[in-house]
Each structure stands twice: as C-alpha cells, then as structure tokens.
Amino acid sequence: MILSKDRDPRLITIRRGGTLTDDDHRLLAAWVADCAERVLPLFEHQRPDDGRPRRAIELARAWTRGAVRMTDARTAAGHANGAARDLRGAPRFAAYAAAQAANVAHVAEHELGAAAYAIKVVRAAAGDARDDAGRAECRWQRERLPAAIRDLVLDDQRRRNALCWFVFDC
C-alpha cells in the first residue's frame, strides 16, 4: 500500500487519532469486498481448489458485521497474498484485491488498493481493450459507492492515483 506523506485523517479511525467513524470504516470494507468479489472468478478459474482469496473476502464481510476480529481478517489477507505469489496477470491481481479488501479492517486506506487491483484484473483480462475495460470497471465501482463514503473515496482516488495506481481516471 502506498501512502502519501500527509495521510488523510478521514481515512484513519477515531481510535487512532483520525476522524473515520466505525460505520464509515465498515462501509469502506463492504464496498471493496464487492469490488474484489466481482473479479474473484478470474482467480478461481486458474486455481479452483484454492479458497484463500474467497475466504479473505468472506472475513472482510464478517468483520463489517462484527462477527470476527480485525486480526482474523488481517490474517486471511496474508493468506490471500500467499495465493497470488506464483501467479501473474489477472489471477494474481484478483488475489491481491481480496487481500487488500480484508486488510481494510486493519487499515482503512487499503480500500484504494482493493479497488485498484480489481481494475487491474479487468484490464489484464481484456487484452487490447484494457483501457476501456478499466474505465468501465472504475465506473462500476463508483456507481456502487455508498453516499456516506463517496466523497471520501473519490478524494482519496484523486489524491493517491498519481502516486502508484494510475487506474482511477474514469
């Protein structure tokens, strides 16, 4: 995860000195779980017997409901990253998207990584049409942003896109 030198306090939880409420933190996690789950079949097609990325998304959702601890989701994120280790292209990015989604429970700023990797999945799978596919995925994600966190996420995309992702120009 790439962070700017000046972290946005709106993406830091209140208990860590920021202004992000627990409700908005859970909304971020639920939204990126949707983004990651949408592209997960591109991993599962390559590795149908490896449930680590799906488990990470499930635990991200469970965390939003208060059913698991943050550490459970964070551990699942590490396992999803492990599933990506020897892969390339869309399947690898899909596992990374799942890992980033689960890590939102730990650090809210992982939300951008999960969304970006989901766009990277679509771009990698689209071949010559990657730019159009990436923009369409970006628009799909934005259409599903809950109103309560929409401005926050769009500001974060504008702020950090040029640092590392280069995929949020839709």
DSSP string for 63-103:
HHTTSS-HHHHHHHHHHHHHHHTT--HHHHHHHHHHHHHHH
Q: Which two tokens stand for residue 19?
A: 């202004």
pLDDT band at 40 (very low <50, low <70, confident <90, very high): very high
Tell me, what's the pLDDT at 142? 98
> How far apart, in Å, are the Cα atoms of 82 and each of 19, 29, 73, 99, 121?
32, 21, 14, 9, 17
Q: Span 26-39, mean pLDDT?
A: 98
Digit-coded pLDDT (tens) for 111-150: 999 999 999 999 999 999 999 999 999 999 999 999 999 9
Tell me, what's the pLDDT at 2? 57
Q: How far apart are the C-alpha atoms of 122 and 35, rounded to whole Å?
A: 11
Supply the pTM of this predicted model: 0.94
Return the domain boundaries, the chain. 17-165
Q: How far apart are the C-alpha atoms of 18 and 9, rounded to whole Å?
A: 4
pLDDT band at 25 (very low <50, low <70, confident <90, very high): very high
Residue 163 pLDDT exceeds 90? no
pLDDT band at 13 (very low <50, low <70, confident <90, very high): very high
Q: Span 75-95, mean pLDDT?
A: 98
Q: Span 4-23, mean pLDDT?
A: 89
**In whole numbers, what is the pLDDT of the chain averaged over residues?**
95
CB-based contact 134:54 (threshold 8 Å): no
